Amino acid sequence: MEQRINRLKVVLVERNKTGKWLAETLNMNPASISRWCSNKTQPSLDTLSEIAKVLDVDIRDLLVPTKKRKYK
């Protein structure tokens, strides 16, 4: 069973952006973005932070929660 770790694909759709756009914006290989979107590999925390900045989201919005939050 594939473990979902990031929500990158969902957030890209919510922002009306594509993996190709993200790859061009970050000057990265589109294949890397594709692997992240499919949860085959994961970006580093530094890269995840960059992604959050360019998508204008909180970095936590890019991750699948491991616990329910009691507060915000």
Which pLDDT score, from 0 to 100, does residue 8 have? 95
Does 1 score more than 50 pLDDT?
Answer: no
Whole-Å CA distances, 34 to 67, 70, 72: 26, 33, 31
Contacts of 31 (CB under 8 A, 6+ apart): none
Which pLDDT score, from 0 to 100, does residue 72 have? 58
Residue 39 phi/psi, 5° resolution?
60, 30
| Confidence class for position 28, pLDDT limits 50, 70, 90 | very high
Does 60 score more than 70 pLDDT?
Answer: yes
| Average pLDDT along the chain | 90
Residue 3 CA to residue 40 CA, distance in Å, equals 9
- Mean pLDDT over 18-43 rounds to 95
